[in-house]
Homo-oligomer: A and B are copies of this chain.
C-alpha cells in the first residue's frame, strides 16, 4: 500500500478522515505511523496528496488530508483479455490496474472454459477490491472500467468496432506476426488470448476487425506474465 485510497464516506469533516479495518491496520502495522507522520493519500477517482496522522488510539485512525495533485496520467491502452482462470484472474486485474490501464474488456473464446465466468472474483465488489489493491500499489486513484463479453462472436462483431475506434489494434500471438512495437504514444488496443491461445478462426476475425498480429517471440508466456510484458513494452510513459 504505497498510497492510502480514501472513499467519500471516510470523511468526518473538512479535510479530516477516519480509517478503520484494513487500511488502519496497515498504517499502524506496516507504516508503523505515529501522530504527526505524513503518508501518501488519494481520493478514489480523484486527487492525490498527503495525510498527516492525528490520532491512532483504539481501532480508529484519523488523518488530516490535503489533496491537490492530479493522479498519474491514464495509460492509453485498452486491454482486451480472454477471461483468465479464476486463480490468475485477481493477479492479472491488479497488475493491469497498477500499470495504469483504464479500460479492460474480458471476453470469451474457444479455449476459455465457460466455468470461468462463474468465478466469485467476478462479483462487482470483489473486482473492485482487486482494482483498489492495484491502485494502492501504484499510487493511482482512478478505477479502470471493466466490461464482460462471454461470447466471442458478438464481441468481435458488435463491441470491438466501437470499443477500439481510433486506436491502433494489436493482437498478441506467440511466434506469429511482426515484432510487437514498443513505446507507442497514441491510443492502442491490445488483445491477449487464453491459455492455449486463440484459434485460427479467432485470429482471422480479429485481423478482419483491423488487428495486427504481433509477437514477443516464440516463447509462450503465462497470462500473468504476458499482460505486464506486453503492457510494459507498449507504455509511452
Looking at A95, A183, A217, which has the most chain B CB atoms within 10 Å of its CB?
A: A217
Residue of B nearest to A140 (CB): B219
On chain B, the residues within 8 Å of A222 by CB distance are 95, 98, 137
What's the least CB distance linking A210 to chain B, in Å? Answer: 23
Tally of contact residues, A, Cβ under 8 A: 31
The chain B residue with its CB closest to the CB of A73 is: B217
A233 CA to B180 CA, complexed, in Å: 10
CB neighbours (8 Å) of A150 from chain B are none
A237 at the B interface (CB under 8 A): yes
Residues from 196 to 237 in A contacting B, C-beta threshold 8 Å: 215-222, 225, 228-233, 235, 237
A179 lies within 8 A of B232 (CB): no
Indicate if the CB atoms of A99 and B137 lie closer than 8 Å: no
> Which residue numbers of A lie inside 8 Å of B, CB to CB?
2, 72, 95, 98-100, 137-140, 179-180, 182-183, 215-222, 225, 228-233, 235, 237
